[in-house]
Structure 1
Amino acid sequence: MSVYEEPDLFVDGRWVPATGGAITVENPATEERIGTVGGASESDMDTAVSAARKAFDDGPWPRMAPRERSAALFRLADALGRRRDEITERLVTDVGTPVSLTRGLQLARPLEHWRYLAEMAGRRDDEPVPPVPVTNVPGVVVREPVGVVAGLCAYNFPFLIATWKLGAALAAGCTVVYKPNEIAPLISYELARAAEEAELPPGVLNLVVGDGPHIGAGLVAHHGVDAVSFTGSVPVGRSVLRAGAASFKRVVLELGGKSPAIVLDDANIDGIVPALVGGFVVNAGQSCGATTRIIVAESRYDEVVDKVSAAVEATVVGDPADPKTQVGPLISAAQRERVEAHLATADDDGAKVVVGGARHPGFGRGYYFQPTVVLADNKAHLAQEEIFGPVVTIIKAKDDDDAVAIANDSRFGLAGVVYGRKRARAMGVARRIRAGNVGVNTGVFNQAAPIGGYKESGLGREGGPWGIDEFCELKLLSWN
């Protein structure tokens, strides 16, 4: 097993020693130390912001022709592609994602998305504005980069989330200070090395690793930062929004989810069981878009409970480095304790745990938790709170209207899926779900489409041209 020693930060195009103390990184599957990274001090953070500020105010990046910025981002994508093996190893050992999932969702999709963003960076055209009869003044709307962006990334999909934030900001012409979650920081160094290899101008991409209450909060409040993009919990998202409001920063938030999977009475149950199970055990349930509420037509309820429960019991939990593993460990002891605390509410809420519900008995070490199936109504704590573990609640619905009402009875609105044989009917149900991303008989990821939520699931969008526009200001230039 590799041991990673990363004492430096990447600031102003150079590797410089961190001065905030060491941060230990562990493998969640073994609880062993796998490396040490240098933690940033507040002075280090300030230096990184200053470098990004100077690069934006005086450097070439925001002033490049779109085709030049596009070429630089393609070089960055190529450099990341050459690091596939190293990125995979770091994700498996640092995050605990099974290698089979890492190669696709954690690696291939972000690499593909970098190239998509590189192409989009070369297509940012000005939009002519037709003169109106009253003034007869022609004009053009131009997009300009918003400025220095602080990208604060979560631990669960560190490469994918960084791609959405940093790639879009860079494509817009912004400069970036990137702070990964200190629990899973290792992949960020490969991204910085790729930026160095791609010869991005100094200060365009800066990496600082440090704790959220100090370094993360400091970035959000920093007078040199113009926009903040954060992925994480709702409470921290509120803090980011409040701190950003003091200086009217642009704030993009991708927060929690309690997404529904609605099973209509005409659904092909045998055909959708793998998707129902995969929807909540993916990455050990540590996914904000996980479909952790299965809402089932009452005529098919018993069938779904039986078949989902059997499939969950057959799910392979194990070493993330084993290609046969479907579910790995949770990220940390603290996260496993949070999942246990949520499950402790089951009896008081009248919920019934029919599969799992506890630490996995097959492992003497590692933060493993059994994939869990709970039966409850939608008012139960387990049906309302984001657990961020491999736990699903199955809920009975009387009819389509009741299923929609249950789906929307949540403070979250990130994603959802509807399963049914009749497309028009299923699409009609999907359109009524109050969420930003809803699929019919399929997942919802599309790199060219907007990703984001309603209600407490966040503000703004990532993905596609909408994600780039979050980091742009619109200016009208008119003439007479």
Structure 2
Amino acid sequence: MPLDAIPAPVRKPIPRGQLLINGLWRDARDGATMVTTDPTTEAEITTVARASAADAEAAIAAAYDAFETGPWSRMRHEDRAKILFRMADLLDDRVDDFAIREAMDMGMPYRDFCDVIMPHCSGLFRFFAGQAMAHMDGAYRTSYESNIRILTRREPLGVVGAITPWNFPLALTCSKIAPALAAGNVVIHKPASDTPLTALALAQVALDAGVPEGVYNLITGPGGVIGDALVKSPRVDKIAFTGSTSVGMNLIRNGADTVKHQTMELGGKSPNIIFADANMEAALQAAFWGIFWNKGEVCVAGSRILIERSIYDEFVERFSALARDAVLGDPLDPKTQLGPIATKSEYEKILGYVEEGKRTARLTAGGGAPKIGGKGLFIEATVFADASNDLRISQEEIFGPVVPLIPFEDEEDAIRLANATTYGLASGIQTSDLGRALRLADRIKAGTVWLNTWHKYHPNAPFGGYKMSGYGREQGAEALENYTQYKTVWANLG
């Protein structure tokens, strides 16, 4: 169906948000609330409860009690899986509500959410439901002594604090909640203060699917207060975090006193290497969507494009033309390619990098911040040519629709530039030479390498970073390693 034939969904009233603690929706103890704002209209959407440290402690107590005395961790794997499958079905049934919430809350294009994000999120619950049945049983082993049997068991960790960011509110929540619940843990979810609307809807899905009381808790409020309470509590066994490297480092430090399990999915400055033998049309599309999908607010965005010198001028010209033609607009409009920046603070930060780029490189596209209908936190798709790899715009995570184009001479130069960063989350190689692609993939220090594509994800593929992009893995069977611990039982059979 042509885009202009797809009816645009409309904004709708969103009910006031509360905290979910021990299976009950409730206000913050002190009655405090906070506002969430639509970055397209810059108008208030609704208010949500602003939790205090006391509310966080109440959620921790509820979760701890649910794990120690409740049925979830002791439930048969098949019964736990049924509830997770039910959650997946409810997510699919309510896709329109979730898509509108995310479009209003952070500017995610409605069609992108429906076509890409929700299938991935419901798929995560289905995948880990299957993993719960297939990989959570123990195994018997033999020993040197004929009368000794060894049983190795996988057990849940306990209380998991999931702290999630504002750029993919639902997807980055499901990547933590699904494996945590599948393994038999209980959860306290702390979403980003700026984008809590899909978190509220997901918590209701958990209730409606039959997750027992206390197993799934949601607390909205300031990250410093709530995150601090979760990471320092001895009754919270694990923190699963996605966000900036600086915040992740603080969580790691604060969790040391309780030797807390932690999974860290942190920042990135991912190189996209374009060789002269690449299919030019395909490489241009991979580069465009690699950086500009979700207006560049993606931790694995292809935010450094490295181009072989012999095609550099042609690529700069054609890529810049694509960027100049990118359609900014309301994320509820099917024609929109780039919605608004999610928050005012991020908008101002990105514009600061744009000004930095104008001083240090050559602006070939974008650079503006137009209003649509006089409103909105919009920034044009922005391209800087003739950049060097040591510039701030080439080394620091801008987290917006801004990209430097950097020339390279040969394979060795490309690898040197690609690895010359503190980050190692993702990377890409565009070439028609499969041998070269695999050869370079072996040498790039990043948790994900895309060959002749970008932004491919699946619940069965592990995801995580090298270097200062974090540790631990989400998705894939490997994720269960981060939500379980092993116990070895020695039995003397006499």
Give the TM-score, by structure 2 length.
0.94
Cα deviation, residue 343, structure 1: 2.3
Structure 2 counterpart of 1:264, which letter?
Answer: F
Alignment partner of 1:429 is 2:440:
yes
Q: Which residue of 2 aligns with 1:145?
A: 156
Secondary structure in 2 matching 1:370? coil
Aligned residue pairs total 479
Among candidates 22, 37, 40, match of residue 29 of structure 1: 40
Matched, 1:95 2:106: yes
Equivalent residue number for residue 194 of structure 1:
205
| Structure-2 change in CA distance of 1:12 and 1:226 (3 Å) | same
Shift of 1:130: 4.3
Identical pairs, percent: 37
Does the 8 A contact of 2:17 with 2:200 survive in 1? no
Q: 2:238 aligns with which of 224, 227, 240?
A: 227
What are the Cα deviations for residues 3-36 of structure 1, in whole angstroms up to 9, with x where unaligned?
3232421111111222351110110011011111
Structure 2: gaps spanning 5 or more residues: 1-10
| Equivalent in the alignment of 1:67 | 78
Match of 1:358 in 2: 368
- The answer to whether the aligner puts 1:296 opposite 2:307 as a matched pair is yes
Match of 2:29 in 1: 19
Q: Unmatched 5+ residue regions in structure 1?
A: none
Once the two structures are superposed, the pairs formed by residues 80-159 of structure 1 within 5 Å of their partners are: 80-126=91-137, 128=139, 130-131=141-142, 133=144, 137-159=148-170
State which of 229, 237, 240 in structure 1 corresponds to 2:251.
240
Q: 1:83–1:190: 8 Å Cα contact kept in structure 2?
A: no
Pick from 144, 167, 182 the counterpart of residue 171 of structure 1: 182
**Structure 1 partner of 2:222:** 211
TM-fit CA distance, 1:477: 1.9
Contact 1:164 1:467 survives alignment (8 Å): no
Is the 1:19–1:38 Cα contact (8 Å) retained in structure 2?
Answer: no
Q: Which runs of 4+ in 1 moved over 6 A?
A: none
Which residue is 1:342 aligned to? 353
In 2: Cα distance, 1:27 partner to 1:129 partner: 55
Distance in 1 between the 2:110 and 2:449 partners?
A: 27
Aligned CA distance change for structure 1 residues 356 and 58 (closer, same or farther; 3 Å):
same
**CA RMSD, Structure 1 to Structure 2 (Å):** 1.6
Alignment of 1:43-82 (within 5 A): 43-82=54-93
Could you say which residue in structure 2 is the equivalent of 1:476?
488
The C-alpha deviation readout for 1:164-192, integer Å capped at 9, x for no partner, is: 01111001100000011010000011111
Comparing 269-278 with 327-336, which one deviates more in the overlay? Answer: 269-278
User: How far apart in 2 are the matches of 1:38 and 1:347?
Assistant: 41
CA distance in 2, matches of 1:268, 1:7: 49
**TM-aligned CA distance change 1:341 to 1:131, over 3 Å:** same
Q: What is the Cα deviation at residue 134 of structure 1?
A: 8.4
Letter in 2 for 1:281: F
1:450 aligned to 2:467?
no
* Contact residue 7 and residue 18 of structure 1 kept, 8 A: no
- Pick the aligned partner of 2:399 from 383, 388, 408: 388
CA distance in 1, matches of 2:146, 2:370: 71
